Amino acid sequence: MNWGLTSVSVVRGGGTILEEATLKVSAGEIVAVVGGDGSGKSTLLGVLVGRLGPSAGVARTPARSRIGFLPASSGVYPDLTVLENLRFAAAAYGMPPALAADRIWALLDRTGLTPAAHRLGGRLSGGMRQKLGVARALVHEPDLLILDEPTTGVDPVSRSDVWWLITRETARGCAVVFSTTYLDEAERAGHVVVLQAGRVLTQGPPDGIVAAIPGEVRLFPTRPVGPFVWRRGRSWRVWREDGTGDGTVVRPDLQDAVVLAALRRAAGESLDRTETPR
Amino acid sequence: MWAMIVKEFRQMRRDRRTLAMMIVMPVLLLIVFGYAASFDVTSIPVRVVGVHAAEVAGRLPAPFEVTAIASAEDRSDATRALRDGVVPVVVVADADAVTVLLDGSELFTANAARAALARAGAPQVEVLFNPDLRTSAVMVPGLAGMILLFVGTVITSLGVVRERQTGTLEQLAVMPLRPRDVFLGKIAPYFLVAALDLTVVVAAGTLLFGVPFHGSLLVLALGAVLFLFVTLGTGVLISSVSQNQGQAIQLAMMTLLPQVLLSGLIFPLRSMPLGVRWIGYLLPLTYFTQISRGVMLRGAPLTTLWQPFLYLTLLGVAVVTFAMLRFRAFLAPQGARRARRRGVLALAAGSKP
C-alpha cells in the first residue's frame, strides 16, 4: 500500500507554510524529511497524520487507527508509569487486553525498558522517554509510522536502540516517515525529502541526490573566493559546475548535496536537474 | 537593576491576560464591593393571609412590601409559600391572633424582618426552617456549591491544560478517539471526585454542624449533577483558551470570584442593585445555592424548584456545547475536518476513518 502527499500546500494566516509538497512511502520503506528549523517538516507530518488540513493537494493516509505517531515532545504522560503509558495507548487503539499485554512486554523488552516498567514517565531520561514514545506509537502495529524528530537530544546508544525498533517494524511491512535535522540519520532512509522554507528543495534516494550533483566538489584548506562555497569541519568546499579550478576533487556526500541545493536555490538557479520526484 | 525593571515591564506587556487581570480585577472588586457587598436589606416582600389580611397589610411598616393579600388562605398555605420560596415573610392574620412567619433560610432577610418587627412592637414571630437563625445552616449548603465550583472549574481547567503543556493532547488528537470520548473521559474523574466532596460536605454539615436536611437527597443530587456539568464545562472551556496552567488559574479565578460574591451565597441578592443582581442571575452558583438551601433547609420539592433547575439546565447546555466545540476544534482542527469532508485527505479503500 502506498501512502503520501501529492502537491500539498498549507496556507495559514495568509502565509504559505508548505508549498506543493509531494511525498510517497510504501510498506516496508523509510522516508526521511530533512530540513532546518521552520522548514515545514512538522507541518508536512501534521498533514500526513491528519492534524492539519491541506489548503490544496491530496494526502493519502490509512485510517487513524492504523497510524502511529510520535510528536516532537515524545507525548509521554509524565505522571503515568511506563507500563501505564503503553496500556493507555493500547486501550485507546482498541487492542484486546491479552494481545496488548503480549505486545507491550515485547516492546519493553526490545527497548530495554523492562526494568523501568513501573517508573513514572517524568522520571525517565531523555533517551528512555523517546524510546517509550516510539514504543507507544508502535503498540498497535500501525501500517504507517510517523515520527517527528525521534532522535533529537537522544544519546548515541538510545539513538541506535530507536533505529533498531524502527527498522524492525519496517521488516514487518510498516511504512515509516520521520523528520530529522541530522543528515547522517537521513542516509538510513530509502528516500529523502529535503525541505527549505516550506518548499521541497530536492528529493530522492540519498545516493541519487548525491549522484545528481552536476560538476565537481573541490576541497580547500582555506576559504576560496567565489560563489557556492561552504565549510565542512576544518576545510572548505566549493562547487564548480564546469569541473575546473584548483583544489582537491572530493566525493560529495548527502550533506554536501543538501547544502549545495540550498545555495543554488538561494542563487535562484533551477534545480530541475537534481530533483528526482517519485 | 534598570535592565531587570525594563525586562519585567516588557514581559508584563506581552502577558495580556495577567495585565488584563491586574486592571480588571480592581475595577471588578470595586464594583462588587461598592454596589453588591451589602448585608442591608431595604425591601422585604411579604404575603399577608387570613381573615384580617387586608386590615393588617395596611399597618405593616417599612421595609415590608406587601406583594399579595390572600384572605382565604391559612397558616398551612403560608408555610407552603415560605417553603416554595415565594416570599421570605408571611403574616398570618387569623381571627384570634396575628403571627409573622419568617423563612430562616434567608438569613439576612429574616434578621432584618425580625429587627423591624421588634421596633414596631409586632406580635408573635416564628422563624421556620432555621429557627435559631444560625449562619452555619445557610452557609453549609452554599459551601457545597462553592466546593463543586472549585473542583469543577479550577481543577478541571488545570487537568486539561496540563495535557496541552506536556504535548500529550497532540497525541490524543491523532488517536482514534472521538472528541466526545476525550471530553467525557477527561471530566468523568473530576465529576466523581466532586460528587464525593459534595457527599462529605453535606454529611459533615448535618452531622457536625447540625444543618437540617428536610428535602429529598435525589433532588439535591440532580441539582448537583446539573451544576457540575456547568462547572466542568467551564473548566474545559477555560483550558481550551489557556496556553498554560497560570493562565488557566487566572481565568478560573475570574469566573470564581463573581460567583462567590454575586450568587447570594454571602450577600443577599435582595440587597443588591438590580443591575448587579442581573449579573448574579447569569451565574450557575446562584441557582445551585437556591436548590441546596431549598432542599436542605426548607424541604422544597422539585416542583417548586423548577426555575433554578431550568436555568441550570440552560446554562449547562450552553456551556457544555461551547466547551465541546472548542475542544473539538483543538483535537480536530477545522482545516483537517474540512479537508476530510471534501475528500482532500483520501483514505485507503476499505479503511474506517
Contact B167 A74 (CB under 8 A): yes
Length of chain A: 278
User: Which of B170, B340, B346 lies nearest to residue A71, judging by beta carbons?
Assistant: B170
Tell me, yes or no, whether B17 lies in a domain: no
Tell me, yes or no, whether B181 lies in a domain: yes
Mean pLDDT calculated for residue range B98-120? 88
CA A96 → CA A264, B268, B330, B337, B342, distances in Å? 53, 56, 29, 29, 34
Q: What's the pLDDT tens digit per position in B48-88?
A: 998 888 888 888 888 888 898 988 888 899 999 999 888 99
Contact A66 B351 (CB under 8 A): yes
Q: Which residues of chain A have pLDDT under 50?
A: 270-278
Strand bridging mode B345-347 / A248-250: unpaired
**Chain A contacts of B166, Cβ < 8 Å?**
73, 77-78
Q: Do B68 and B216 fall within a single domain?
A: no
Q: Do B332 and B295 fall within a single domain?
A: yes
Q: Do B82 and B140 fall within a single domain?
A: no
Count other C-beta atoms under 10 Å from residue A182's C-beta.
Answer: 15
Tell me, yes or no, whether B174 lies in a domain: yes
Check whether B275 has a pLDDT greater than 90: no
Tell me, yes or no, whether B8 lies in a domain: no
CA A95 → CA A86, A90, A134, B352, distances in Å? 11, 5, 17, 16
Among all residues of chain A, which has the CA nearest to that of B352? A63
Task: Categorize the per-residue pLDDT at B118 as very low, low, confident or very high, splitting at 50, 70 and 90.
Answer: confident
Q: Where are the alpha helices (DSSP H) in chain B?
A: 2-14, 16-31, 53-57, 75-83, 107-119, 135-149, 156-166, 168-174, 179-208, 217-241, 245-262, 274-281, 284-298, 306-331, 334-341
List the grid coordinates of B21. Answer: 487581570
Q: Do B97 and B176 fall within a single domain?
A: no
Given B128, B163, B183, which residue is the final one in a domain?
A: B128
Among all residues of chain B, which has the CA nearest to that of A133? B171
Check whether B297 has a pLDDT greater than 50: yes
Range of the domain at B203: 135-341
Establish whether the linkage from the previous residue to A142 is cis, with ω within 30° of 0.
no
**Secondary structure string (H, E, C) spanning chain A:** CEEEEEEEEEEECCEEEEEEEEEEEECCCEEEEECCCCCCHHHHHHHHHCCCCCCEEEEEECCHHHEEEECCCCCCCCCCEHHHHHHHHHHHCCCCHHHHHHHHHHHHHHHCCHHHCCCEHHHCCHHHHHHHHHHHHHCCCCCEEEEECCCCCCCHHHHHHHHHHHHHHHHHCCEEEEEECCHHHHCCCCEEEEEECCEEEEEECHHHHHHCCCCEEEEECCCCCCCCEEEECCEEEEEECCCCCCCEEECCCHHHHHHHHHHHHHCCCCCCCCCCCC
| Burial status of residue A51 (CB atoms within 10 A of its CB: 0-12, 13-18, 19 or more) | buried
pLDDT at res. B348: 43
Contacts 24+ apart (CB under 8 A), B89-92: B89/B44, B89/B45, B89/B46, B89/B47, B89/B64, B89/B113, B90/B46, B90/B47, B90/B48, B90/B49, B91/B46, B91/B47, B91/B48, B91/B49, B91/B50, B91/B53, B91/B56, B91/B57, B91/B60, B92/B49, B92/B50
List the grid coordinates of A194. Answer: 529535503
Q: Do B171 and B251 fall within a single domain?
A: yes
Contact A53 B353 (CB under 8 A): no
Mean pLDDT calculated for residue range B34-61? 83
Tell me, yes or no, whether B58 lies in a domain: yes
Domains of chain A, first to last: 2-196 (3.40.50.300), 205-266 (no CATH)
Strand bridging mode A2-12 / A15-26: antiparallel
- Residue burial B219-256, b: 16+ Cβ < 10 Å; e: rest: bbebbbebbbbbbbbbbbbbbbebeebebbbbbbebbb
Q: Do B173 and B312 fall within a single domain?
A: yes
Mean pLDDT calculated for residue range B264-278? 82
Tell me, yes or no, whether B32 lies in a domain: no
Q: Do B60 and B190 fall within a single domain?
A: no
Q: Do B158 and B111 fall within a single domain?
A: no
Residue B348 DSSP symbol:
P
Q: Report the C-alpha gap between B91 and B82 in whole angstroms.
A: 11
Q: CB neighbours of A98 closer than 8 A, spacing ≥ 6?
A: none
pLDDT at res. B289: 93
**Chain B contacts of A52, Cβ < 8 Å?**
333, 335-336
Cβ atoms B209, B140 nearer than 8 A: yes
Nearest CA distance, B128 vs chain A (angstrom): 51
Counting the structural domains of chain B, the total is 2
Given B128, B146, B180, which residue is the final one in a domain?
A: B128
Cβ atoms A67, A49 nearer than 8 A: yes
Element (H, E) at B48: strand B44-49
What is the complex's ipTM, to 2 decimals? 0.80
pLDDT at res. A270: 47
- Give the amino acid at B185: G
Q: Report the C-alpha gap between B47 and B68 in whole angstroms.
A: 5
**Chain B contacts of A60, Cβ < 8 Å?**
345-348
Strand bridging mode A67-70 / A144-148: parallel
Q: Report the C-alpha gap between A268 and B32 in whole angstroms.
A: 65
| Summary mean pLDDT of chain B | 85
Q: Report the C-alpha gap between B194 and B229 in whole angstroms.
A: 11
Contact A53 B347 (CB under 8 A): no
- SS3 for B15? coil
Count other C-beta atoms under 10 Å from residue B191's C-beta.
Answer: 20
Nearest CA distance, B151 vs chain A (angstrom): 20
Q: Do B219 and B200 fall within a single domain?
A: yes
Query: Within 13 Å and on the Cβ side, how many CA atoms surround B137?
Result: 23
Check whether B244 has a pLDDT greater than 90: no
pLDDT at res. A26: 94
Count other C-beta atoms under 10 Å from residue B345's C-beta.
Answer: 24
Most confidently predicted of A145-149, B9-13, B346-350: A145-149
Phi/psi at A55 (5° precision): -75, -30
pLDDT at res. A104: 96
Contact A53 B175 (CB under 8 A): no
Mutation choice for A interface testing from B178, B344, B352 by most A CBs within 10 A: B344
List the grid coordinates of B4. Answer: 531587570
CA A189 → CA A27, A183, B256, distances in Å? 13, 10, 54
Tell me, yes or no, whether B18 lies in a domain: no
pLDDT at res. B334: 54
Q: Do B190 and B277 fall within a single domain?
A: yes
Contact B168 A59 (CB under 8 A): no
Q: Do B208 and B226 fall within a single domain?
A: yes
List the grid coordinates of A21. Answer: 509538497
User: Which of A50, A67, A77 lies nearest to residue B336, judging by beta carbons?
Assistant: A50
Task: Categorize the per-residue pLDDT at B339 as very low, low, confident or very high, splitting at 50, 70 and 90.
Answer: low
Q: Do B262 and B120 fall within a single domain?
A: no
pLDDT at res. A278: 47
Contact B171 A78 (CB under 8 A): no
Sheet containing strand B44-49, edge to edge, reads B64-70, B44-49, B89-93, B98-103, B124-128
Tell me, yes or no, whether B161 lies in a domain: yes
pLDDT at res. A36: 84
Check whether B150 has a pLDDT greater than 70: yes
Among all residues of chain A, which has the CA nearest to that of B185? A92
Given B96, B128, B160, which residue is the final one in a domain?
A: B128
Report how far Cα A55 is from the mean position of its chain's Cα atoms. Answer: 23
Strand bridging mode A30-34 / A144-148: unpaired
